[in-house]
Amino acid sequence: MALPKRIIKETERLVADPAPGITAAPHEDNLRYFDVTIQGPDGSPFQNGVFHLELFLPEEYPMSPPKVRFLTKIYHPNIDKLGRICLDILKDKWSPALQIRTVLLSIQALLSAPNPDDPLATDVAKHYKENEKDAQRVSREWTEKYASQ
Amino acid sequence: MFPSPRDLFPIFHCPLCPPDAVLAAPTTLRCGHTVCAVHVRATHCPIPGCSTQQQSSTHNTIAFFPAPPNTQSHPPDITHRALDVRVNSIIHILHAANTHDCPFPDPFGNSDGDSDADDPPSRHTTPQRHNADPTSPPDPHDFEKTLSTELTCEICFMLLYQPVTTPCQHTFCSKCLQRSLDHSMLCPLCRQEFPGFAYFQEHPHNKVILSLLLEAFPDAYSARGDAMEREVRDARLDTSIFICQLSFPGMPTLLHFFEPRYRLMLRRCLEKPCPTFGMIMPPRAAPIPGHGPNAGSEFGTMLEIRSVQMLADGRSMVETRGTHRFRLLEQDSLDGYLIGRVEKIDDYDDDLAEWAAQDDDRAPSSSNTTHVDIRPSPQISLTRITPRVSPPSSPASTTGTPQHLLSIPTLLEICHTFLDQLRAGTAPWVVQRLNYTYGPQPPDTDPGAFSFWMGMVLPIDEHEKAKLLPVKSARLRLRMVVGWIEQLNSNWWFTSGCTVV
């Protein structure tokens, strides 16, 4: 079916005026499927890393949230080993006034502020709660190993 | 030429203040009127002559349960006196653009702080007054652009169309807000809980914003409406399809719409003068080998909407009646539901008995439940009136089951005997189905309708019944029904003969 105007506008803006540290480009053969990169925020264990994600706009977008997943391995209490992200705006706190840009900015913010009290990867969360320093060390190692360009 | 700010100010005059006074701390009420918050005291719109009572619906097919609200049942939007965020921002823009050619007394005093608090982040582009550099002339193009940004819907990202304002004073296109309500009862911008689905039924448009749209962007606004209309009119796949259950022409079906995508589909159907949609069965859980996963669901029945009872939470009970059968030729999805191009299926005349009789030997045999002929297939012979090349003289036709040779009256007779048998008390639950679910029994003079009715009341698998849909002859359908009756009878004989513990 035809792509809704809103998706076209969002795509244009993402390309013309990208958010700092974030890129998103649609696939040529499927304009609802985006290749995304997010730079690890400065000051976080993910600094200097470039993380690849996939983002898909379902049929009912923007009434339903986009589906987003990390493709790059990441050691983070709210992201599991399949790359799934625990973030409220991707689930029940979604609003049609949010958009691709705001979603990606929220994910970037999640890298700066892990929330081990609402974990998806329980082992990582446990590590973060019991020994944050050591957990951050592992996060840095993983970033260097999997997310360096 | 784009109107100057001065031309647009009259739109923002408060109807209750002395003439030419611009709205101060504007609040938009459910009736669509915008007034200064100070005027709002009672539970009704303070504008004389404004009827805040719900106007009667233009669709007499829709009833709302509970009845649509009046302002008395929803006082919070009045007592709250929130600031209409969008109207307020626009007044600021007008002032900013107007400062140079006409110094205007600021009617807000220090109300700026309040207005910014409610502004969504995307609208912080509101230009500040050009006080810093009073010599630079305002760019009229900038003014137009700023205004058009301010009049963009945060859901569809396009120029507001038929704007409505929520109790929390956020404005969206009417259709966008409706869709959002299908999914959530929270405001998309501030997440405040809405008073209930019924509040937004027949929600009057924000009169001030609508006037501004028509005054400042008349072409873009009407183009928006035209585009929406054209989308519907020119759609090649123009039939909405509801995947739910089996229905036949003439049958009443009561449906419950609760999924967001189907609420949207229902609303779109109801915008048409004769609201109809197609219904097909979901595909079988286990596909039959040799037939695609959708086998059997390419045929369905068009339903006309008789009445809609909408509940307060947005669900609807929809009373429908089957009008005719269709075949789904092409399909796609639209906002989560199926749309398609369909071809109407009509019966041929059973009086053309000659060739119908010729077809007897290869006509669908309902007693053979997996027989390919009953299945939808392009070469189904019953659809053609062309004479057959070879005469049906195979030995099988002479030894076939007797029902092959039966006429319509005889077939009807068998059905009636079966019905009488049920009514005599063998299976009272079936009689209940007959009486309440499927409407009155069609007369024998309409064997086409009777075949569907009879098929529907039989206690057999729905996918089996669906085989009646593609068959274009009432006689052949009756024969299939009689085949099922014979099967049922033999089953009952079997089960009553051996007591299984």
B238 vs A: CB within 8 A: no
pLDDT of residue B164: 95
Which CATH number fits the domain that encloses residue B204? 3.30.40.10
Top-confidence range, A64-78, B182-196, B252-266, B282-296: A64-78
Instruction: Assess if residue B236 is contained within a domain.
Output: no
Listed residue (B167, B156, B242, B160) closest to B198, CA to CA = B167
Identify the pLDDT of residue A53. 97
Task: Give yes or no for B259 touching A (CB within 8 A).
Answer: no
The answer, for B340 touching chain A at a CB cutoff of 8 Å, is no
Q: Is the pTM of this model over 0.90?
A: no
* pLDDT the model gives residue B460: 86
Q: Does a structural domain hold residue B91? A: yes
Residue B303, CA distances (Å) to A59, A146, B263, B334 in order? 25, 56, 16, 19
The helix, strand and coil proportions of chain B, stated in percent and rounded to the nearest 5, come to 40, 15, 45
Contact A63 B182 (CB under 8 A): yes
Task: Name the least confident of B56-70, B218-232, B323-337, B356-370.
Answer: B356-370
With CB atoms and an 8 Å threshold, state whether B157 touches A10: yes
Q: Is the pLDDT of residue B132 over 90?
A: no
Q: What angle do CA B330, B332, B337 make, to 5 degrees?
A: 125
User: Quick one: pLDDT band at residue B216, thresholds 50, 70, 90?
Assistant: very high
- Identify whether B5 is preceded by a cis peptide bond (ω within 30 of 0): no
A9 in contact with B, Cβ within 8 Å: yes
- Residue B111's H or E segment, with its range, is none
For residue A62, cis peptide bond before it (omega within 30 degrees of 0):
yes
pLDDT at B277 over 60: yes
Q: Chain A within 8 Å of B179 (Cβ-Cβ)?
A: yes
Tell me the backbone φ, ψ of residue B62, rounded to 5 degrees.
Answer: -105, 130
Q: Which residue has the higher pLDDT, B21 or B119?
A: B21
Residue ending a domain, among B181, B213, B231, is B231
Chain A residue at shortest CA distance from B120: A97
pLDDT digits (tens, 9 = 90+) for B426-475: 566 666 666 677 778 888 889 899 999 998 888 888 889 999 999 988 88
Q: What's the pLDDT at B297?
A: 75
Length of chain B: 501
Query: For position B77, what pLDDT does the model report?
Result: 45
**CB distance from A17 to chain B under 8 Å?**
no
pLDDT band for B87, please (50, 70, 90 cuts): very high
Domain contains B244: no
Residue of B156, B191, B261 lying closest to A95 (CB–CB): B191
Q: Does A63 touch chain B (CB under 8 A)?
A: yes
**Domain of B149, in residue numbers:** 5-40+81-231
Last residue in a domain, options B231, B248, B278: B231
Contact residues, chain B, for A10 at CB < 8 Å: 157
Question: pLDDT (tens digit, 9 = 90+) per residue, B317-343?
Answer: 999 999 999 999 888 888 889 999 888
**ipTM exceeding 0.95?**
no
The answer to whether residue B306 is domain-embedded is no
pLDDT at A26 > cutoff 90: yes
Percentage of chain B lying above the pLDDT 90 cut: 26
Number of other CB atoms surrounding residue B20 within 10 Å:
9
- Mutation choice for B interface testing from A32, A61, A63 by most B CBs within 10 A: A63
The residue among B119, B152, B155 with the most chain A CBs within 10 A of its CB, best to mutate, is B155
DSSP string, B341-361: EEEEE-PPPTT-HHHHHHGGG
Q: What is the Cα B39 distance to its own chain's centre?
A: 39
- Has residue B260 got a pLDDT over 50? yes
Q: CB-CB: which of A60, A64, A96 is closest to B155?
A: A96
- Is-catalytic flag, A8? no
Task: Name the 3-class secondary structure at A97.
Answer: coil
Average pLDDT of the segment spanning A93-117: 94
Is residue B417 domain-resident? yes
Please compute Rg for chain B using Cα positions: 32
CB neighbour list of residue B12: distance below 8 Å, 6 or more residues apart: B22, B23, B26, B87, B90, B91, B94, B208
**CA–CA min distance A6, chain B (Å):** 5
DSSP class of residue B403 equals G
Helices of type H across B301-407: 353-358, 395-399
SS3 content of chain A, % helix, strand, coil (to 5): 35, 20, 45
Rounded to an integer, what is the distance from CA A117 to the centroid of its chain?
A: 19
* Structural domain includes residue B402: yes
Question: pLDDT band at residue B357, thresholds of 50, 70 and 90?
Answer: low
B392-412 pLDDT, tens digit each: 333 333 344 455 567 888 899
* Mean pLDDT for chain B overall: 75
Q: Using the predicted structure, report yes or no on whether residue B388 has a pLDDT greater than 60.
A: no
More confident: A74 or B292:
A74
Q: Is the predicted pLDDT of residue A134 greater than 50, yes or no?
A: yes
pLDDT exceeds 90 at position B494: no
Please say which residue of B190, B213, B231 terminates a domain: B231
**Average pLDDT of the segment spanning B56-69:** 52
Asked whether the predicted pLDDT for residue B298 surpasses 50, the reply is yes
Listed in order, strand segments (DSSP E) in B335-485 are 337-345
pLDDT at B356 over 80: no
Q: Is residue B95 predicted with pLDDT exceeding 90?
A: no
Task: Report yes or no: B157 at the A interface, CB cutoff 8 Å.
Answer: yes
Region for residue B196 given its phi and psi (left: phi exceeds 0; alpha: psi -120 to 50; beta: otherwise) = left
Number of domains in chain B: 2
Q: Give the confidence band of B263 by pLDDT, cuts at 50, 70, 90.
A: very high
Interchain proximity A97–B188, CB inside 8 Å = yes
Reduce the secondary structure of B65-101 to three states and give it as a string. Answer: ECCCCCHHHCCHHHHHCCCCHHHHHHHHHHHHHHCCC
Alpha-helical (H) ranges within chain A are 5-16, 100-112, 122-130, 132-146
Q: How many Å lie between the alpha carbon of B226 and the closest alpha carbon of chain A? A: 15
- Residues from chain B that touch A9, judged by Cβ atoms under 8 A, are 157
Residue B402 is predicted with a pLDDT of 53
Cβ contact A100:A33 at 8 Å: no
pLDDT for position B380: 37
| Candidate list A7, A85, A86, A107, residue with the active-site label | A86
B416 within a domain of the structure (yes/no): yes
A-chain CB neighbours of B334 within 8 Å are: 1
Q: Is residue B181 part of a domain?
A: yes
Asked if residue A12 has pLDDT above 80, the reply is yes
